[in-house]
């Protein structure tokens, strides 16, 4: 029978090499971070589950990257700088060392790319499916974190990057021979698939958000649904203009051949972009700084008053969508 490492051996071989200073080489049961004067801690935990958030056949490097990236996306939306993360890994009976080696490789690549070291965690058995839970820790200047409850009437709503790529990438995985998929170039197919497999948290946008954003949150469950959540949390209404939603060339090609995909693009989720509101007089300054940081930001709507409805517009007229956002339940 093939020898499997014990938990201590597994940690020493695969995770100790990537431990940050506060993790003390993973030799203790707890991590230690030095306090930072004048800064607040920002914490977030999300789990991804095989067969729900990723395909069991996905490369382990991509599973690891996604587990870290989806959490860092929440830090990015708060303008936070990563300080480290904790990992809880529940392995099903059929795990192999080959899989774990590739997983740890992807995790280390993500940690190094984002400046977010491993601080500790836990490894357990599960009857299945594979579950990866990551807790990220970041920090922001004290009192400066933009929350989702702070949208103000008259604010302009903006979205970073492009919307819908990951949702269309998932659709491509589920039906690679769809009529619209055949219209994509190889590069466009790869773009959509990559956006689903490897989210890119917008950490670079932090300085611009801290300088200008009123409300901010990441887009994980779909643009329409997440904007509805932001406006509801802020006690206001608003309007989203679907014609202004930023789309990649790949998404535009897909939607041109199958117009119904627009709804999937704006409700499907897994974008991991940033949704924020900015005072009208500061929009251009914000967009200029965001562009200089390498992250385009596009105006997509306006915040209404308390008591106003949330409306989704297409060609200037309200539209009704069958699905508002991805739901876990």
Q: Are 258 and 178 in contact (CB under 8 A)?
A: yes
Asked if pLDDT for residue 26 goes beyond 60, the answer is no
Instruction: Judge whether 53 is annotated as a binding position.
Output: yes
Instruction: Judge whether 226 is annotated as a binding position.
Output: no
Interatomic CA distance for residues 11 and 39, integer angstroms: 32
Average pLDDT over residues 32-54: 87
| pLDDT tens profile 226-242 | 999 999 999 999 999 99
Instruction: Judge whether 148 is annotated as a binding position.
Output: yes
Interatomic CA distance for residues 259 and 59, integer angstroms: 31
Confidence band for 51, pLDDT divided at 50, 70 and 90: confident
**CATH H-level superfamily of 7-141:** PurM-like, N-terminal domain (3.30.1330.10)
Instruction: Judge whether 165 is annotated as a binding position.
Output: no
Asked if pLDDT for residue 300 goes beyond 90, the answer is yes
For CATH 3.30.1330.10, list the domain ranges present in the chain.
7-141
Asked if pLDDT for residue 8 goes beyond 70, the answer is no
Predicted pLDDT of residue 4? 67
Instruction: Judge whether 270 is annotated as a binding position.
Output: yes
For CATH 3.90.650.10, list the domain ranges present in the chain.
148-318
| pLDDT tens profile 288-297 | 999 999 999 9
Q: 3-class SS at 201? A: coil
Asked if pLDDT for residue 258 goes beyond 70, the answer is yes
pTM: 0.90
197: Cα separation from own chain's centroid: 11
Asked if pLDDT for residue 302 goes beyond 60, the answer is yes
Report the range of poorest mean pLDDT among 95-99, 207-211, 299-303. 95-99
Percent of the chain with pLDDT over 70: 88
Instruction: Judge whether 29 is annotated as a binding position.
Output: yes
Instruction: Judge whether 122 is annotated as a binding position.
Output: yes
Instruction: Judge whether 175 is annotated as a binding position.
Output: no
Interatomic CA distance for residues 39 and 228, integer angstroms: 30
| pLDDT tens profile 156-200 | 999 999 999 999 999 999 999 999 999 999 999 999 999 999 999
Instruction: Judge whether 74 is annotated as a binding position.
Output: yes
Instruction: Judge whether 257 is annotated as a binding position.
Output: no
Would you identify the CATH topology of the domain 148-318? Phosphoribosyl-aminoimidazole Synthetase; Chain A, domain 2 (3.90.650)
149: Cα separation from own chain's centroid: 19
Predicted pLDDT of residue 104? 93
Instruction: Judge whether 326 is annotated as a binding position.
Output: yes
Instruction: Judge whether 58 is annotated as a binding position.
Output: no
């Amino acid at each position: 029978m093939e020898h499997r490492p014990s938990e201590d051996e597994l940690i020493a071989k695969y995770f100790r090499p990537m431990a940050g200073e506060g993790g003390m080489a993973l030799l203790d049961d707890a991590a230690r971070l030095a306090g930072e004067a004048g800064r607040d801690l920002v914490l977030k935990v999300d789990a991804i589950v095989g067969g729900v958030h990723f395909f069991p056949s996905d490369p382990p490097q991509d599973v690891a990257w996604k587990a870290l990236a989806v959490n860092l996306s929440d830090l990015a939306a708060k303008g936070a700088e990563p300080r480290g993360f904790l990992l809880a890994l529940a392995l099903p009976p059929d795990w192999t060392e080959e899989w774990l080696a590739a997983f740890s490789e992807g995790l280390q690549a993500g940690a190094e790319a984002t400046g977010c070291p491993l601080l500790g965690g836990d490894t357990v058995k599960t009857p299945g499916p594979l579950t990866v839970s990551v807790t990220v820790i970041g920090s922001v200047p004290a009192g400066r974190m933009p929350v989702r409850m702070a949208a103000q009437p008259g604010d302009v709503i903006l979205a970073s990057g492009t919307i819908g790529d990951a949702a269309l990438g998932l659709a491509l995985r589920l039906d690679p021979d769809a009529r619209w998929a055949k219209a994509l170039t190889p590069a466009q197919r790869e773009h959509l698939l990559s956006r689903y497999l490897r989210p890119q948290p917008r950490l670079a946008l932090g300085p611009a958000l801290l300088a200008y954003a009123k409300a901010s949150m990441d887009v994980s469950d779909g643009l329409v649904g997440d904007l509805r959540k932001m406006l509801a949390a802020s006690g206001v209404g608003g309007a989203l203009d679907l014609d202004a939603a930023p789309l990649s060339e790949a998404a535009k090609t897909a939607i041109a051949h199958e117009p119904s995909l627009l709804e999937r693009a704006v409700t499907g989720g897994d974008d991991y972009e940033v949704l924020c509101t900015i005072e009208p007089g500061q929009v251009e300054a914000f967009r200029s700084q965001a562009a200089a940081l390498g992250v385009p930001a596009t105006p997509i709507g306006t915040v209404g008053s308390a008591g106003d409805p949330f409306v989704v517009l297409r060609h200037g007229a309200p539209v009704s969508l069958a699905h508002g956002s991805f739901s876990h339940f």
